[in-house]
Amino acid sequence: MSESMPTSYIMLVNAVLAAFIPLLVYLLYLVFIQPRFNPLRKLPGPPSKRWRADHLGMVMNPSVSPRMHEAFVKQYGRNITIRGPIPWDYRFFTLDPVALGHVMKNSHLYEKPWQSRRLITGLIGCGMLAAEGAAHKRQRRVATPAFSIQNMRALVPLVFAKGHELKERWAAMIADPIAGDSGKDARRRIDVCHWVSRATFDVIGSAGFDYQFNAIQNESNELFNAYKEMFEVAISQQQGSYRGLFAIYFPIIDVLFPDKAVRTVRRCQGVIRRVAGQLVQEKKRKIAEAEASGVAHQGKDLLSLLLRSNAAADLPPEQRISDEDILHNINTFMFAGSDTSSLSITWTLFLLARYPSIQTRLRAELLAVAPTASLAALTSEEIASLYAAVTDLPFLENVVRESLRLIPPVHSSIRVATQDDVVPTSVPVRTRMPDGSVQDLMHVMVPKGAFIHVPVEGFNMDREVWGHDAWAFNPDRWDNLPEAVASQPGLYNNTLSFSAGPRSCIGLRFSIIEIKTFLYILLTNFVFAETESQVGKANVVLTRPYVIGKHMEGSQCPLYVSPYVAEA
Ligand code: HEM
Ligand SMILES: *[C@@H]1O[C@H](CO)[C@@H](O)[C@H](O)[C@H]1NC(C)=O
Ligand SMILES: *[C@@H]1O[C@H](CO)[C@@H](O)[C@H](O)[C@H]1NC(C)=O
Ligand SMILES: CC(=O)N[C@H]1CO[C@H](CO)[C@@H](O)[C@@H]1O
Instruction: Give pLDDT tens digits for 83-124.
Output: 988 878 899 999 999 999 999 999 999 999 998 899 899 889
Average pLDDT over residues 2-14: 68
| Residue 439: inside a domain | no
DSSP 197-266: HHHHHHHHHHHHHS----TTT-S--HHHHHHHHHHHHHHHHHTT-HHHHHHHH-THHHHHS--HHHHHHH
- Residue to substitute in 393, 481, 493, 497 for testing ligand 3 pocket (most ligand atoms within 8 angstroms of CB): 493
Nearest CA to ligand 1 atom 27: 337
- Classify 89 as helix, strand or coil: coil
Helix axes 323-337 and 302-311, enclosed angle (nearest 10): 150
Q: Is there a contact between 162 and 203 (Cβ–Cβ < 8 Å)?
A: yes
- In 3D space, the residue among 396, 403, 399, 547 whose CA is nearest the CA of residue 461 turns out to be 403
Classify residue 64: in a domain, yes or no: no
Ligand 4 within 6 A of 429 CB? yes
Statement to judge: residues 20 and 129 lie in one domain: no
Q: Whose CA is nearest to atom 17 of ligand 1?
A: 505
Crossing angle for the helix pair 339-354 and 508-525, nearest 10 degrees? Answer: 40
Question: Which region among 235-239, 318-322, 377-381 has the lowest average model confidence (pLDDT)?
Answer: 235-239
Residue 95 counted as domain residue: no
| CATH number (domain holding residue 178) | 1.10.630.10
In testing the pocket of ligand 2, which one of 162, 202, 206, 218 has its CB within 8 Å of the most ligand atoms? 218
Domain that holds residue 555: 125-412+455-563
Name the E strands within 337-394: none
Burial 43-60, CB ≥16 within 10 A → b, else e? bbbbeeeeeebebbebbb
Residue 94 inside a domain? The answer is: no
24 and 146 housed in the same domain: no
Q: What is the pTM of this model?
A: 0.91
Phi, psi of 540 (to 5 degrees): -130, 90
Instruction: Please indicate whether residue 128, judged by its CB atom, sits closer than 6 Å to ligand 1.
Output: yes
Q: Which residues contact 139 (CB under 8 A, 6 or more apart)?
A: 127, 128, 131, 321, 325, 329
Question: What was the pLDDT predicted at 1?
Answer: 45
Contact 237, 261 (CB under 8 A): yes
Q: Kindly list the distances between the CA atom of residue 155 and the CA atoms of 384, 534, 551, in Å, as whole numbers in the listed order.
A: 9, 36, 36
268 is in an annotated binding site: no
Q: What is the domain count for the chain?
A: 2
Residues 129 and 10 in one domain: no
Angstrom CA distances, 448 to 37, 88, 91, 458, stand at 12, 13, 11, 24
Q: Do 460 and 558 belong together in one domain? A: yes
Q: In what order do the strands lie in the sheet with 79-83?
A: 79-83, 90-94, 451-454, 413-417, 110-111
The number of C-alpha atoms within 13 Å of 561 and in the hemisphere containing its C-beta is 29
Which 3 state secondary structure label does DSSP give 450? Answer: coil
- Whether residue 337 sits in one domain with residue 198: yes
Please say if the pLDDT value at position 237 is more than 70. Answer: no
If you take atom 11 of ligand 1, which residue's CA is the nearest one?
A: 505
Q: Are residues 26 and 170 in the same domain?
A: no
Residue 337 pLDDT level (bands cut at 50, 70, 90):
very high
Residue 464 has, within 13 A of its CA and on its CB side, a CA count of: 16
Shared domain check, 27 and 129: no
On whether residue 89 sits in a domain, the answer given is no
Instruction: Return the amino acid letter for 374.
Output: S
**What is the tens place of the pLDDT at every residue in 252-303?**
888 888 888 889 999 999 999 999 999 999 999 999 898 888 888 889 999 9
Determine the Cα–Cα distance for residues 168 and 295; give it in Å rounded to an integer: 37
**In a domain? residue 351:** yes
With respect to residue 427, please indicate whether it lies within any of the assigned structural domains.
Answer: no
Q: What angle do CA 319, 146, 113 make, to 5 degrees?
A: 65
Residues 29 and 138 in one domain: no
d(Cα 242, Cα 86) in Å, to the nearest integer? 13
- Condensed to tens digits (0 to 9), the pLDDT of residues 375-418 reads 999 999 999 999 999 999 999 999 999 999 999 999 999 999 99
CB-based contact 348:516 (threshold 8 Å): no
Separation of alpha carbons 263 and 421, rounded Å: 42
| Element spanning 94, H or E | strand 90-94
Q: Is the pLDDT of residue 172 over 50?
A: yes
Give the residue whose CA is nearest to atom 11 of ligand 4: 77
Average pLDDT over residues 163-191: 81
Q: Is 109 helix (H, G, I), strand (E, B) or coil?
A: coil
What pairing do the DSSP bridges indicate for beta strands 110-111 and 438-446?
A: unpaired
| Residue 161, helix vs strand vs coil | helix
Rounded to an integer, the average pLDDT of 522-534 is: 97
Q: Where are the alpha helices (DSSP H) in 392-474?
A: 394-406, 456-460, 463-466
345 is a domain residue = yes
**What spacing in Å lies between the alpha carbon of 213 and ligand 2's midpoint?**
10
Amino acid at 309: S
